Amino acid sequence: MTASTGEVGAANGYDYNFAYLDEQTKRAIRRIILKALAIPGYQVPFGSREMPLPYGWGTGGIQITASILMKSDVLKVIDQGADDTTNAVSIRNFFARVASIATTEKTAHASIIQTRHRIPEAPLAAGQIMVIQVPIPEPMRRLEPREIETRKMHALKEYGLMHVTLYEDIAHWGHIATTYAYPVLVNGRYVMAPSPIPKWDNPKLHQSEATFIFCAGREKRIYAVPPFTDVRSLDFEDYPFRLQSFTQSCALCGSGQSYLDEVILDDEGKRLYVCSDTDFCAQRVAGGHVGSDPDALAAAKDGAP
């Protein structure tokens, strides 16, 4: 299970416990995770530790991953859907060093997926754990800055204010303009901030076979959605929740059913649209799907000054 102190670290030239955190801290965090799973959507305060990266860079996510990681786990880390951004690479390498566990870019092969701001396109399987990095865990924070007040509102199920935000959107824009960090009602009881994932990803939380654990390191909160939990996006009867639709398809794999990123190619405004989920895109390309401009990205990299 867990390696003895210093064993793994020493092998790699570091004097750390398996997965960096000491066993007592892991135990404390696991207790909090259990509580969070027992009360879906409820924000549980915890003693957030100092991690070797600044607040705002995923300290919460790393603490969860460190606390639940086992030698047999396979870890995938994505940032905005991509495995190859700086942060995703850094975090993946960090765990490879302090835990010597296997890592992967393939969603289907991962047992733990740590993510910032996206949920993978491919449906998750039973036994998979999503660890989600959260900046502001309190969904009502913008409208109600007092922590005492928001805690009471959650305790007393007073969620009128959440609908006020949606009302304001409709009043100003004619529709609910919130497109990310879209508030959801979990298990019919707690309103939760699903982190700044696009609303495109909200349906993936509903009745999933996987487990979702959310953690805000700076704000010191953990919350969770266990498998097969109802997660419903808030809306009005006459303005129901709607997914955005894309007029473009992915230039690399041709998918019109995935969340797309817009990539600017040069300083003359040339742009193309590609899947945000790099693994999803790669799987499709490997499976023979072709987009409108499959070599565009490679060409852009070559042509970069």
Partner 1 sequence: MIDLEPPLLQVEGLSKLYGRNVACKNVTFKLWAGEVLCIVGESGSGKTTLLNCISAIQPQSSGRVLYQTRHAGTADVTAMSDAQKRLLMRTDWGIVHQNPRDGLRMGVSAGANVGERLMAVGARHYGHIRAEATGWLNRVEIDIDRIDDLPGTFSGGMQQRLQIARNLVTKPRLVFMDEPTGGLDVSVQARLLDLLRALVQDLQLAAIIVTHDLAVARLLAHRLLVMRRGEIVESGLTDQVLDDPQHPYTQLLVSSILQT
Question: Does residue 228 belong to the site contacting partner 1 (CB under 8 A)?
Answer: no
CB under 8 A: which stretch of 94-102, 117-125, 167-175, 280-288 binds partner 1? 167-175
Nearer to partner 1 (CB atom), residue 22 or residue 158: 158
Residue tagged 């969620």 (tokens): 159
For residue 135, report the phi and psi dihedrals to the nearest 5 degrees.
-80, -60
Q: How far is the CB of 166 from partner 1 (least distance, A)?
A: 8
| Secondary structure class of 228 (helix, strand, coil) | coil
Question: Does residue 268 belong to the site contacting partner 1 (CB under 8 A)?
Answer: no
Residue tagged 């955190």 (tokens): 21
Nearer to partner 1 (CB atom), residue 27 or residue 157: 157
Binders of partner 1 among 74-113, rule CB under 8 A? none
Q: How far is the CB of 235 from partner 1 (least distance, A)?
A: 8
Spell 155-179 as b/e; 16+ CB within 10 A means b: eeeebebbeebbeeeeeeeeebebe
Q: How far is the CB of 225 from partner 1 (least distance, A)?
A: 23
| Angstrom distance (rounded) from CA 149 to CA 194 | 20
Q: How far is the CB of 191 from partner 1 (least distance, A)?
A: 13
42: DSSP letter: -
Question: Does residue 143 belong to the site contacting partner 1 (CB under 8 A)?
Answer: yes
The number of beta carbons lying within 10 Å of the beta carbon of residue 132 is 27
Question: Does residue 156 belong to the site contacting partner 1 (CB under 8 A)?
Answer: yes
Is 215 labeled as catalytic in the residue annotation? no
CB under 8 A: which stretch of 47-55, 59-67, 236-244, 288-296 binds partner 1? 236-244
Q: How far is the CB of 186 from partner 1 (least distance, A)?
A: 18
> For residue 122, what are its two tokens?
């491919």
| Secondary structure class of 133 (helix, strand, coil) | strand
| Angstrom distance (rounded) from CA 262 to CA 277 | 12
How many Cα neighbours within 13 Å face the side chain of 271? 9
Q: How far is the CB of 262 from partner 1 (least distance, A)?
A: 31
Q: What is the total count of residues that contact partner 1 (CB under 8 A)?
A: 19
User: Is 6 in contact with 15 (CB distance < 8 Å)?
Assistant: yes
Helix (H) or strand (E) run with residue 173 in it: helix 160-173
Catalytic residue among 9, 41, 58, 60: 41
Is 275 labeled as catalytic in the residue annotation? yes
144: region left, alpha or beta (phi > 0 left; psi from -120 to 50 alpha): beta
Nearer to partner 1 (CB atom), residue 14 or residue 173: 173
Nearer to partner 1 (CB atom), residue 240 or residue 288: 240
Question: Does residue 301 belong to the site contacting partner 1 (CB under 8 A)?
Answer: no
Is 250 labeled as catalytic in the residue annotation? yes
Question: Does residue 267 belong to the site contacting partner 1 (CB under 8 A)?
Answer: no
Question: Does residue 152 belong to the site contacting partner 1 (CB under 8 A)?
Answer: yes
Binders of partner 1 among 172-211, rule CB under 8 A? 172
**What CA–CA distances, in Å, run from 198 to 149, 203, 258?**
27, 10, 12
Which of the residues are catalytic?
A: 41, 250, 253, 275, 281
